[in-house]
Amino acid sequence: MDTLEKLFGSASKVKVMRLFIFNPDHLFDLKTIALRTRLTTAQTRKELALLHKMKLIKSKGVKSSKKIWFLNESFVYLKPLRELMTHTIVISYDDMVKKISRVCKLKSLVLSGLFINNPDSRVDMLIIGNQFQKDSLKTVMKKIESEIGKELSFAILETEDFKYRLGVGDRLVRDILEYPHQVAFDRIGLV
């Protein structure tokens, strides 16, 4: 069991908390929360009730099916909780590499943005490889996003396209590789 799961009592609570903390400007209905966290409606209702009771989130609307939920920006412990959630992203790099490798011939995975706590980064993830199964990759990315609690900004490049862009000094590639980043997997000699 993950440390945060032990600390907060369940993986489902951590997923719902991350969703609100990493998306402070969003309003969510029950269906969207369940979909984004990949939880059942019953699990989602339970966690929402607990988080609402502790005042981390607020709601608008009368009926539970019509309620809109949002982060309570004046929650006393919001800043330290946000830092804790940011520094304890639960998915391992090896797990991401395995999941992405199932849907393409992965050559390199470069992490930036959310993964290194750099909100100014253009993307969170650069995926370099060949033979991408685009629909399957979307599904894998949705799974990773549900574990992290935030939609990820990512770029997908075929190996030859990446090499060309690297050679001509493409701005996207430069912005990722010349600024803070972490190489989670490399078979093309980035490291």
Do 8 and 77 lie in one domain? The reply is yes
**For residue 58, is it within any domain?**
yes
Greatest mean pLDDT range, 56-60, 65-69, 93-97, 141-145: 56-60
Torsion sign (Cα): 149, 155, 156, 159: negative
In this structure, are 55 and 127 located in the same domain? Answer: no
Residue at which a domain ends, from 87, 116, 143: 87
Identify the domain containing residue 37 by its residue range: 3-87
**Spatial distance between the Cα atoms of 162 and 136, rounded to a whole number of angstroms:** 21
pLDDT, one tens digit per residue, over 146-160 is 888 888 999 999 999
Task: Kindly report, residue by residue over 87-130, the tens digit of the pLDDT.
Answer: 776 567 888 999 999 999 999 999 998 888 787 888 999 999 99
pLDDT for residue 116: 83
Give this prediction's pTM. 0.74
Closest C-alpha to 133, from 104, 99, 90: 104
Are 117 and 100 found together in one domain?
A: yes
Half-sphere exposure of residue 92: CA atoms within 13 angstroms, side-chain side:
4
Q: Is 18 found in the same domain as 41?
A: yes
Measure the CA–CA gap between 94 and 97, rounded to whole angstroms. 5
* Structural domain count of the chain: 2
Is 191 a member of any domain?
A: no
Assess whether pLDDT exceeds 80 at residue 6.
no
In order, the DSSP letters of 62-85 are: SSTTT-EEEE-TT-TTHHHHHHHH
- The CATH number of the domain holding residue 131 is 3.30.460
Domain boundary among 47, 62, 87: 87
Regarding whether 66 and 102 lie in a shared domain, the answer is no
